[in-house]
Structure 1
Amino acid sequence: MKKALITGANKSVGFETARQLLQNGYYVYLGSRSVENGLAAVEKLKAEGLSNVEAVQLDVTDSGSVKAARAGIGRKTEVLDVLINNAGINGGWPQAALDASIDQFKMVFDTNLYGVVRVTQTFIDLLQKSSQPRIVNVSSSGCSLTLHSDPTWKYYTHKAAVYPASKAALNMYTIDLAYELRDTPFKINAVCPGFVATDFNNHRGTGTVQEGGARIAKYAMIGDDGPTGKFISEEYNPETGETPW
């Protein structure tokens, strides 16, 4: 049975991704900053008959928490097949380029970029023992430099200085990580779940968490012929998913 770790998986798209991996026969370590919220999420899944899941306390901004999670999971398995770096924050609004504070930037980058680096570097040894290791970094088409530079793009006027910058940096990390592991079985991609209605956007999204979870789970389960080092948004590009950086 393949094993997956998902950060920020106690609700919304992360929770739905966990559900869909469980439905596909994976064992899921459900990462949650709050132990209580993680346990509650696990109970919901078990009530649906999805029993191969357990909660893991994991705060991606806390190195001690990440190391403790690695030690705990390492006592139960020698191999991790999938890492989904899903935990993220928007940093609050507004985010004007001339008014956003340095503290606001630091807070968002600590979760959306540094948190991914912490978790990936800490769990890489377990992933390297998998025959088909997969890493999905949850990104957003709203951080595409190309799209945000195009006045014809439908979201061109939806500018924010902090959150998109953190995800653009995450995309660059994804490129570098995929390059470093290019001669290995790893498949590593930045995947946008789409503009789905969640707490993250005050439920203004036009898609569902089921659609978002399916997009992430798809790239967590891709075969050996799947892409790596790509920026994927199937909402933006339904045919291939590949999205301009």
Structure 2
Amino acid sequence: MKTALITGANKSIGYEAARQLLQHGYYVYLGSRDWQRGQQAVSQLQSEGFSQVEPLQIDVTDSASITAARQTLGQKTSVLDVLINNAGILGGMSQPALTASIGMIKEVFETNLFGVIEVTQAFIDLLQQSPAPRIVNVTSGLGSLTLHNDPSWPYYPVKGAAYQPSKAALNAYTIMLAYELRDTPFKVNAVDPGYTATDFNHHSGPGSVADAAARLVKAAMLGPDGLTSQFFSDDNAPETGISPW
């Protein structure tokens, strides 16, 4: 049975990705910063008939929490097949480049970039035991530097000094990680779930949580001939599904 860890999975897209992986027969460790909320999410999934799921407390901005989560997971399994780095924050709604709070920018990067790096490094040994390991870094279409410099792009005016740069940096880390793992069975990709109606954006997005999660799950289940070191985004590139960086 394949195993998966999803961070920030007690609600929204991460939670739905857990459900979809469970439907595909995976054993899912549902990562949540808050233990109680993680348990509540697992209880809900179990009430739907899914038994192969359990909570894992992990705060991606807390090194001690990450270490504890790795130790806990290591006591339960010696192999991790999928890591979905889903936990992320938006930061303040106003992020002008000249006046955005440095503290707020650092807070966003702590979760969206440094948290991903530290979690990946902590769990890489378990992933290396899998015959077909997959790492999915949940990014945003707003992380495309190419499109941010294109006035014809529909989201061209949507600029910010914290969230967008954090996702652009995450994309860059994804490329570096994929390169380092290029001669192994790993598939490492950045996936844009799309502009989705969630608490994250006050339910302003037009996309559904189910469709967004399906994009993550698709990358998590790539076969041996699947692509690696890609920026998958159906929103940015509806024809090819691969966004410019």
Please tell me the TM-score bracket, short chain as reference. Answer: over 0.9
Aligned match of 2:192:
192
Residue matched to 1:75: 75
Equivalent residue pairs, number: 245
Structure 1: give runs of 5+ residues left out of the alignment.
Answer: none
Distance 1:179 1:17 in 2: 26
Which blocks of at least 5 consecutive residues in structure 2 are unaligned?
none
Q: Which amino acid aligns with 2:50?
A: L
Matched, 1:158 2:158: yes
CA–CA separation in structure 2 for the residues paired with 1:232 and 1:195: 14
**Do residues 183 (structure 1) and 183 (structure 2) align?**
yes
Aligned counterparts of 2:186 and 2:99: Cα–Cα separation in 1: 40
Cross-structure match for 2:240: 240
Query: What is the match of residue 138 of structure 2?
Result: 138
Cα distance between partner residues in 1 of 2:97 and 2:57: 34
Partners of 1:235 and 1:17 in 2: how far apart?
18
Q: C-alpha distance in 1, partners of 2:234/2:155?
A: 16
Q: Deviations over 1:142-194 (max 9, x none)?
A: 11001110000011111111100000000000000000000000000000000
Partner of 2:170: 170
2:46 aligned residue: 46
CA distance in structure 1 between the aligned counterparts of 2:240 and 2:182, rounded to whole angstroms: 21
The correspondence of residues 46-125 of structure 1 with structure 2, limited to 5 A, is: 46-125=46-125
**Residue in 2 that maps onto 1:127:** 127
Give the Cα–Cα distance (whole angstroms) in 1 for the partners of residues 7 and 136 of structure 2. Answer: 11
Distance 2:148 2:132 in 1: 34
CA distance in 2, matches of 1:105, 1:237: 28
CA distance in 1, matches of 2:89, 2:138: 12
1:236 CA displacement: 2.2
Provide the secondary structure at the position in 2 that maps to 1:64: helix
- 1:226 paired with 2:226, answer yes
How much has 1:240 moved relative to structure 2? Answer: 2.6
RMSD (Å), alpha carbons:
0.6
Q: Aligned to 1:88, what secondary structure does the other structure show?
A: coil
Large movers: runs of 4+ above 6 Å: none
Which secondary structure does the structure 2 equivalent of 1:164 belong to? helix
Give the % identical residues: 64
Alpha-carbon distance in structure 2 between the residues aligned to 1:240 and 1:32? 33
Query: What secondary structure does 2:244 align onto?
Result: coil
> Partners of 1:240 and 1:217 in 2: how far apart?
18
Structure 1 position 93, deviation (Å): 1.5
Shift of 1:128: 0.2
1:92-136 CA distance string (max 9 Å, x none): 211000110110111000000000011000000000000000000
Deviation digits for residues 23-66 of structure 1 (CA, Å, limit 9, x no counterpart):
00000000000000000000110111111000010000001100
Give the whole-Å Cα distance in 1 for the aligned partners of 2:237 and 2:225: 19
- Distance (whole Å) between structure 1 residues aligned to residue 155 and residue 170 of structure 2: 20
Pairwise CA distance, 1:222: 0.5
Q: Report what 1:23 is aligned to.
A: 23
Shift of 1:239: 3.2
Give the AA of the match of 1:194: G
Task: Please give the TM-score of this superposition, normalised by the length of structure 1.
Answer: 0.99
